[in-house]
């Protein structure tokens, strides 16, 4: 698995030095590649990037969500998500309101413009994600998930942080 590289170049997995997990590096490279592809798909829409797409996708599943919920759903750092949400508000893609019971908590919801952008992008992203999921038949998907769980368990054991 190769990609455009820096001065070090893309080290082939079989040549990684000690202290670098081959499995972790392959998963990282694949994740980065897939994120870039989704980012490029949604990036054709003005003012939409990968994180704002994830926000729209999350808000399409619920009428409103807290920033904490959006951080968890998008897998984005709090500070980065705050900036993205402010920009999305400026672009009128989302709106913010204070929680009725706790004024310290902000609730975010899609605006009609945000719903329209989501609706335009969803078919393209769905085609892409379906193509990825269809690369493996159901039995191989189950095997892949089991292998991922096995790797996670090994990492937890090795780090001493069993969950």
Q: pLDDT tens for residues 112-134? A: 999 999 999 999 999 999 999 99
Residues of the chain with pLDDT under 70: 1-9, 99, 103, 162-163
What pLDDT sits at residue 18?
86
96 close to 110: Cβ distance less than 8 angstroms: no
Q: What pLDDT is stored for residue 1 in this prediction?
A: 47
pTM over 0.85: no
Contact 22, 13 (CB under 8 A): yes
H helical segments located in 60-111: 67-74, 78-90
| pLDDT for res 8 | 52
How are beta strands 94-98 and 65-66 bridged, if at all? unpaired
At 146, list the tokens: 């089991």
**Structure tokens of 108?**
């975010």
**pLDDT digit string, tens, across residues 53-74:** 999 999 999 999 999 999 999 9
- pLDDT at position 163 is 60
What is the rounded distance in angstroms from the CA atom of residue 56 to the CA atom of residue 11? Answer: 36
| Annotated domain spans of the chain | 21-118+136-159
Overall fold of domain 21-118+136-159 = Arc Repressor Mutant, subunit A (1.10.10)
């Amino acid at each position: 698995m190769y990609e455009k590289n820096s001065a070090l170049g893309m080290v082939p997995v079989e040549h990684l030095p000690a202290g670098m997990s081959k499995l972790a590096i392959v998963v990282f490279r694949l994740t980065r590649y897939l994120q870039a592809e989704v980012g490029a798909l949604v990036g054709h829409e003005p003012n939409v990037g990968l994180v704002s797409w994830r926000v729209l996708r999350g808000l399409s599943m619920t009428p409103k969500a807290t920033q904490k919920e959006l951080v968890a759903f998008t897998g984005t750092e709090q500070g980065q998500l705050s900036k993205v949400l402010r920009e999305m508000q400026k672009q009128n893609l989302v709106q913010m309101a204070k929680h009725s019971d706790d004024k310290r908590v902000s609730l975010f919801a899609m605006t009609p413009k945000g719903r329209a952008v989501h609706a335009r992008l969803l078919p393209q992203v769905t085609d892409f994600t379906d193509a990825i999921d269809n690369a493996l038949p159901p039995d191989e998907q189950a095997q892949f998930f089991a292998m991922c769980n096995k790797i996670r368990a090994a990492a937890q054991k090795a780090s001493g942080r069993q969950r």
